[in-house]
Structure 1
Amino acid sequence: MDLILWRHAEAEDEREGLSDMDRSLTAKGQKQASRMAAWLDRQLPESTRVLASPARRTEQTVHALGRKYKLRPELAPGATPAQLLEAAQWPDSKAAVLIVGHQPTLGHTIAQLLGLDDPNFAVKKGAVWWLRQRERDGQAQTVLVAVQAPETI
């Protein structure tokens, strides 16, 4: 199974009167989302399931991809790696799954899947981490397939 984790692009800072869920992408964030979406569209299988947090900035990020997606409340800010992996049906999903979400959930999930000791793993805004679950010699392995930042496309 392929699990692709995409952190939302750059968003406006929190300010009084604006909830965290309502923060929008900045102009830079819109460019980041467009760049990454173009790269992803060339790489993703057509059958990829696309899930996103219901926060405005994640929906704006995934919208740049131009594919059907589902908003999942369990992917909102504050989600746990367990919630993310359950939504993705990791490692049993037949299709690749793209999740557009938030820090620190994405970093914690990557650290867990790669067996890193420190769960405080940073994921750059707008970046994609592509992981694959495979079996080798009867043992399940998580393989890092790609890491892509919008600035390097």
Structure 2
Amino acid sequence: MDLILWRHAEAEDLDETDEHGGDDLSRRLTARGEKQAARMAAWLDRHLPEGTRVWCSPAVRAEQTALALGRKYRVRAELAPGAPAQAVLDVVQWPHARQPALVVGHQPTLGQVVAQLLGLVSGQCSIRKGAVWWLRQRERDGDWQTILLSVQTPDLL
């Protein structure tokens, strides 16, 4: 199974929201964030396997990032900021789902998913805004392994 983790692109600070310090979920992408999302979406569109299911946090900044891809996606409350790593794995049915899954979400959750799947002792990994981490589970000599296929940042595209 392929699991593609996409951190939302750069967003406004909480005090820059329409509510001036209002709800974290209402934070929008900045102009730079919109460009980051568009660049990464173009790269993803060229590389995503057929039938990839797209899941998204209910935060506005995550939905704006997902919209850049131009594909159908499902919003899941379990992917909101502060969600536990296991919630992401449960939503995508890792590692048993038949289709690849793309999750648009947040730090530190996505970094915790990476750390858990790659067995990082620290239990966390930093994922840059707008970046994608592509992981795959495979069987090799009777053992299941998680491999890192790609890490892509919008600034390098």
TM-score range, shorter chain: over 0.9
- Cα distance in 2 for residues equivalent to 1:119 and 1:145: 20
SS in 1 for 2:14: coil
Aligned partner letter, 1:13: D
Aligned partner letter, 2:149: V
Correspondence list, 1:108-123, <5 A? 108-123=112-127
Whether the 8 Å CA contact 2:6–2:104 is kept in 1: the answer is yes
Instruction: Report what 2:77 is aligned to.
Output: 73
- Cα distance in 2 for residues equivalent to 1:17 and 1:27: 19
Instruction: Report what 1:4 is aligned to.
Output: 4
Instruction: Report what 2:104 is aligned to.
Output: 100
Give me the TM-score of the superposition, normalised by structure 2: 0.96
- Cα distance in 2 for residues equivalent to 1:138 and 1:120: 28
Aligned partner letter, 2:141: D
Report the Cα offset of residue 14 of structure 1: 1.0
Once superposed, which parts of structure 1, at least 4 consecutive aligned residues long, lie more than 3 Å away?
A: none
Aligned sequence identity (%): 63
Aligned partner letter, 1:5: L
Runs of 5+ consecutive residues of structure 1 not aligned to the other structure = none
Equivalent pairs, count: 153
Offset from partner CA, 1:76-107 (integer Å, 9 cap, x none):
00111110000011000100000000000000
Aligned partner letter, 2:39: R
Superposition CA RMSD, Å: 0.7
Report the Cα offset of residue 17 of structure 1: 3.7
